[in-house]
Every structure is written in structure tokens, then in C-alpha cells.
Amino acid sequence: MISLVFFLVGMGTLFLAWVLYQQSQYFKSNVIEVQGRIVDIQIRKFSSSKTQRIVHRPIIHYVFQGKTWQYEAEYDVRQYNQNTDAFVRLHFKPEHPSLVRSEPDLRDGHILIFICLGLGLLFNGLGLHLIIDNFNDIKISLLDEKFFIGMGVIAIVMFFTLFWQRENLLWMFNLPNATKKWGLTDNAICLEQGSDHSI
């Protein structure tokens, strides 16, 4: 039974890695990259049944097709040591000038893909090892000291890496305005009208 649990958990994390990879491909073609500037920092408080989380979100101004847009990014500037007047790069599709994503989120997405891929392979390996060990009575068992130590080290490294990225991972599952693509927000507003030329 435990072997099946390990295997299913591994398949689940591999599926999550695939979903994150598919989401990251959104930015591989026909993408506009614009430099924006942090003009203000908004403090947001999120309360749950037990805890309260405070996030310092950057308010970013950028220009697209002669129009100035204001965008509140959904990451914490403290994680990247950013302050007012700092420059960030924004990515979005030309048909959705208000559906944007900032550069720090892209970097975190790749880390999460690595974490999920590693955990998926680890749990799948453990599950398959236990299945083979149970059905074929192979002498190599999970209690073998070297095998146990090796798997333990991998599990500890992956666990602490996942714990380090826990806020970003939880944030991706709890977007207040969920979109079809994780990590994208459509909360930008147009501040002023301008000429029709693109920058």
C-alpha cells in the first residue's frame, strides 16, 4: 500500500512540474517585453483562520503603445531587495496589455519546476523500488544502509528547497483573481491616452 502511495505522489508532482512547464511556455513566443519602474509599494494583509500574512507589493508603471499603465505585481519586493524607483522587466502578450507578469516570478517558476521534477522522480523511484521488492522478493531492500542514506539526503534537500519556496508555491495556488495561466494578473489599468506608436 505504501508503495502505491509513493508512486501516486510522484506522479502528482510530475504532473505539477508539467503544468508549470506548460505555463512557462506562454512566454516563449510572440511576447512583448517592457521595462517598468516601481513607483510605490503597497502593503497588503491576507488573513486566514490562523495566521495573517503581510506582503509588500510593488506598484509598477510601464508604457505600451503610447499609453501609460499601472500594474500591481503579486510578489513581495522584500524577497528581491527592491525599492521605489527600481526597474523591472514585464512580459505580456500584445493582445493583452494588462495581462502582465514581472521578471522575478519567471525565475521562481523555473525553480518550482525543478523542485517538482526532483520530488516526482524521488517518490516514483521509491514507489517502484518497493513494488519490485514486494513482488519479486529482491534482496535489495529499502533498509539497505547506503540506499536509505542516499534517498534520505535527496529527500532532505528537496524538502528544504520546497520549504524555502513555500510562499511562492502557495501563492500560485491562491491567486485572488485566477487566470488560465498561473502567475498572470489582469489588474493593470490605463492611466493616460497617448499616441498609437509602440515602444
**pLDDT at site 120:** 76
- Stretch 106-133: mean pLDDT, rounded? 69
Highest mean pLDDT among 80-89, 140-149, 162-171, 175-184: 80-89
Residue of higher predicted confidence among 150 and 70: 70
pLDDT at 196 over 70: no
Matching residue, cell 517518490: 123
**pLDDT at site 175:** 43
Report pTM.
0.49
Is residue 162 very low, low, confident or very high in pLDDT (cuts 50, 70, 90)? low
Cell numbers describing residue 183: 502567475
